[in-house]
Amino acid sequence: MKLLAGNWKMNNTLEEGADLMEALIEGLPAEVVGDVRVVVSPPFLQLPQTVHALWENAQIAVAAQNGHAADGGAFTGEVSMAMLRDAEVDAVIIGHSERRQYFGETDSDVAEKVQSALRNQLIPIVCVGEVLAQRKAGTYLEDTWNQLHAAFARVNPEDMSDCVIAYEPVWAIGTGEVATAAQAQEVHAYLRAQMEATFGVSDMPIVYGGSCKPSNAAEIFAQPDVDGGLIGGASLVAADFIALVELLKAS
Ligand code: 13P
């Protein structure tokens, strides 16, 4: 399955978010989207209006950028996966490197969130990726696999095909430094082979993220183990995100 997800991160007012959705809905009719699964991931406060804007448009799914593992309770400032499901959100990004880096999320937190998402019928978009020091040390394959293995360790293999994996090398996020197509393919192929060898499941989409934009995406999307992208900066510009959908469809 081909999948393109836009992670808006902590950007846009309500009005800007609504305008962006309007442009995406207009620019992404069924014939443009084709067989690509398109996902947008606005900040929490923009989720209800985004879901509402998409009520008559099945082409685009909505993901939250985070969720708490508990279904409810005394967790001030948090939003549960159950609440996301109640708001008709379809998916949730889990373990983004910014959550790990700035909010101390551990592999164990990520594992609990993946289970909670599945329990609440949300598609987990599980992010893994090495930091620059790990890339330089040559340990990036085992480092990313360790993250992924931990995330799925307690998941029933029958549920794994419903998940999405995002490989996002931390050194490529928001830096303008994109992984080469060969670098992305190497890690994607490795993660897929490890998923198959360990859990017997490897048909989930594995998407690439990190400074992906229309000018560099075609070669990355053409790789056999790259099923799409998780897009940050370029997802905030409707024309760029639409161009990425078209590039992925053509790949
Ligand atoms: P950029 O595309 O801005 O590098 O962000 C990638 C990302 O973190 C998507 O989740």
29-42 pLDDT, tens digit per residue, is 999 999 999 999 99
For residue 115, the domain's CATH number is 3.20.20.70
- In the chain, the percentage of residues whose pLDDT exceeds 70 is 100
pLDDT (0 to 100) of residue 57: 75
* pTM higher than 0.85: yes
Say whether 188 is catalytic: no
The confidence band for 58, taking pLDDT boundaries of 50, 70 and 90, is confident
CA of 186 to the centre of ligand 1 (A): 19
Closest CA relative to residue 217, chosen from 204, 230, 205, 236: 230
Of all helices (H) and strands (E), which one includes residue 60?
strand 60-64
Most ligand 1 atoms within 8 A of CB, residue of 211, 216, 237, 244 to mutate: 211
Residue with the bigger pLDDT between 56 and 134: it is: 134
- In the chain, the percentage of residues whose pLDDT exceeds 90 is 95
Model pLDDT for residues 188-200, shown as the tens digit of each residue: 999 999 999 999 9
Q: Name the residue range of residue 108's domain.
A: 2-250
Most ligand 1 atoms within 8 A of CB, residue of 41, 65, 212, 220 to mutate: 212
Segments of 65-168 assigned E as strands: 91-94, 123-128, 164-167
Write down the mean pLDDT value for the chain. 96
Total number of domains constituting the chain: 1
Tell me which amino acid residue 40 is: V
Say whether 168 is catalytic: yes
Model pLDDT for residues 98-138, shown as the tens digit of each residue: 999 999 999 999 999 999 999 999 999 999 999 999 999 99
Contacts of 68 (CB under 8 A, 6+ apart): 75, 78, 79, 80, 81, 113, 116
pLDDT (0 to 100) of residue 178: 86
Summarize the confidence of residues 235-239 as an average pLDDT. 98
CA of 96 to the centre of ligand 1 (A): 10
The confidence band for 15, taking pLDDT boundaries of 50, 70 and 90, is very high
Which residue in 98, 105, 130, 168 is the catalytic one? 168
236 lines ligand 1 (CB under 6 A): no
- Residue 176: pLDDT over 90: no
End-to-end CA distance of the chain: 12
